[in-house]
Chains A and B, each alone.
Chain A
Amino acid sequence: MSDKTATSLHSGIPLPRAMYARTLKGCMLVCLSLTVALVFFLILYILIRALPHLSWEIVSTKPSYLKGTIGVLPDILNTIYLVVTALIIVLPLGVGAAIYLNEYAKSPKLVKGIEYAVETLAGIPSIIYGLVGMLFFCQFLSLQTSLLAGALTLVIMSIPVIIRTTQESLKTVPQGYREGAYGLGSARWHMIRTVVLPCCIDGIVTGCILAAGRMLGESAALLFTAGFAHALHGYIDGITSSGATLTVALYVYAKEQGEFEVAFVIAAILLVLCFITNYLAQAYGRHMKKVKG
């Protein structure tokens, strides 16, 4: 296609028109290469600065004042606890809401109301989630600053992602499946459980991956709800006590303590995690398309 444009430019087109096309084409190429260069710069800069400091020790120990070393294991564990807890809670909430919207809801007014609410939730900035989470979960429900309070805040934040992806994949289940199940005498919930849900597992998994990606990158909402501690805990202790996730730890190390080496290591870990979640979500999405034809 681009070859055709190039040749037609030289075959007697008035100069202003040729200029117009050429300028715009130049603009596009410049902008595209700037964008791509930016991504490559970010990736390479982080990886190159992080590699010299990356060692097994730094990812497998906790910070020690005695030895003067910093390890990020507690932050990694906190992140895992947080994401797992939040996903376990958000999954039934989000999938249930999507099923209601797609399968049960009869009043269009209520559907509109719920969808408007979900869109609003998707647009609220994370710092506001952090404040409300602090007021409601930490103070009103007296969970204190703990990973659990952080996880609950993230639950509300990531509901829209789960609802949207689930709804989209519910819509791809052919109406005939539902009617077939009804025709065989199935009731609604039985039909959903045995016919509809198995068909859209992939969509739900994609939603989970996307939500996990968002949770991994979240920091502003966790600052006041999950806290800054770097202690090493098991799951039960960890979830009820204050703990920094990777992102919060990066912020604290970089901004408040000036420990740039550790910060680069954390940034590299986050970058890799982000790459993995993106890849998984995409691979799953593609797989889904293939299966559904």
Chain B
Amino acid sequence: MNLLAKNHKDNVETIASTIFLILGVINIGFVLLICVYLVIAGLPAIIKIGPIDFLFGAKWASTAAEPQFGILPFILTSIYGTAGAIVIGLPLGFFTAVYLAKIASKKVRYVIEPLIDLLAGIPSVVYGFIGMLVLVPSIRSLFSLPDGASLFAAIIVLAVMILPSIIKVSITALEAVPQEYELGSLALGANEIETYYRVVVPAAKSGIAAAVVLGVGRAIGEAMAVMMVAGNAANMPSLFESVRFLTTAVASEMSYSSGLQREALFSIALVLFVFIMMINATLNVLLKRGGVKRK
């Protein structure tokens, strides 16, 4: 009887450990599934169109009588849009992070950090919606344009959306710097501000770089908010013109696409995926060097 019970217990243990092994490995399966599906769905169109024509073709006219599938405008728009968002969002987030991490009193942090969490949690469609109703009309009247839906509007919305991740990761990085560095600098006669910017910030360099890369990843992958404010015309990027990003190119035509056009949309997703994988690899290196955990 005792032996039987022991056998039963052993069986349960073996089953449990097998199940957990499967649950762990299944995650690798998910990533492979996504990769394989994107490659299978995206590669044929790239081969049919020709990689050079596809990636560097300057004209996208998928529904024309003689369709042209050049995604250079989308790639450039995504790069410019992301760069613009970083240019606006980074200084804003960086200075806020230094203040919150080093100068703000506990009470101030207690009030402001939930606000930043809220900013991080607001759904992207809400950003798009507010951008559409507030930003787009004001850009139109401010710069007297025929339509305010433009790359500029998208850049501002994206800058707001990446702000919380830049702030949060930068704060973690700044707080990971050992206190001794600060004390040493203060003892040498530097004042607080000099200490923060000449000692603590350089020491937290990799972590802050990781915050930037994380922001780049968010910005380049954002679809809904951008779709609502960028105008969605397949133009070459220009600050005050209606543009289409890689993400919005996929989303805006998917519902009515067919044939080669549909395959080309999957190819765009594949290109986007390659971008994201490169950004992720950079992020991992930076996080490891900065000793900051990803949140």
Interface on A for B, CB 8 Å cutoff?
Answer: 1-2, 4-5, 8-9, 13, 17, 20-21, 24-25, 27-32, 34-36, 38-40, 42-43, 45-46, 92-93, 96-97, 99-101, 103-105, 110, 113-114, 116-132, 135-136, 156, 159, 163-164, 187-190, 192, 213, 216-220, 223-224, 247-248, 250-251, 254-255, 260, 263, 267, 270-271, 274-275, 277-279, 282
Contact = CB atoms under 8 A, between A and B. Distances in A.
Contacts of A8: 191
A104 B20 contact: yes
B29 to A, nearest CB: 8
A122 B294 contact: yes
The dominant DSSP class at the A interface is helix
A243 to B, nearest CB: 16
Given A5-B191, A188-B16, A247 B125 contact: yes
A42 to B, nearest CB: 6
Interface in B219-265: 220-224, 227-228, 247, 250-251, 254-255
Contacts of A46: 126, 130
Contacts of B119: 35, 38-39, 42
Contacts of B277: 120
A187 B37 CA distance: 41
27 contacts: A24-B193, A25-B193, A28-B99, A38-B119, A38-B163, A93-B26, A97-B26, A110-B25, A114-B25, A117-B28, A119-B284, A121-B30, A121-B31, A123-B279, A124-B34, A127-B269, A132-B34, A132-B38, A187-B9, A219-B124, A220-B224, A224-B255, A247-B123, A270-B122, A274-B123, A275-B118, A279-B114
Contacts of A100: 20-21, 23-24
A31 B117 contact: no
B192 A97 contact: no
A271 B126 CA distance: 9
The dominant DSSP class at the B interface is helix
A129 B27 CA distance: 14
A24 B197 CA distance: 9
Given A5-B192, A254-B228, A274-B123, A127 B251 contact: yes
Contacts of B146: none
Nearest to A131: B269
A123 B26 CA distance: 17
Given A21-B192, A159-B27, A263-B129, 17 more contacts: A17-B194, A24-B95, A24-B193, A31-B93, A35-B93, A39-B116, A39-B118, A119-B280, A124-B276, A125-B221, A125-B247, A126-B221, A126-B223, A159-B30, A219-B124, A254-B129, A255-B228
B220 A96 contact: no
B280 A123 contact: yes
Interface in B7-37: 9-10, 12-13, 16-17, 19-21, 23-28, 30-31, 33-34, 37
B80 interface: no
B27 A117 contact: yes
Contacts of B19: 96
A202 to B, nearest CB: 18
Contacts of A20: 193-194
A40 to B, nearest CB: 8
A136 B33 contact: yes
4 closest Cβ contacts across the A-B interface? A125-B221, A217-B123, A96-B23, A100-B24
Nearest to A31: B95
Contacts of B24: 96-97, 100-101, 104-105, 110, 114
A125 B255 CA distance: 19
Contacts of A32: 95-96, 99-100, 112
A220 B133 contact: no
B272 interface: yes
B291 interface: no
B203 interface: no
A203 B129 CA distance: 34
A175 to B, nearest CB: 19
Contacts of B163: 35, 38
B191 A219 contact: no
Interface string B62-104: 0000000000000000000000000000011111101110010
A100 to B, nearest CB: 3
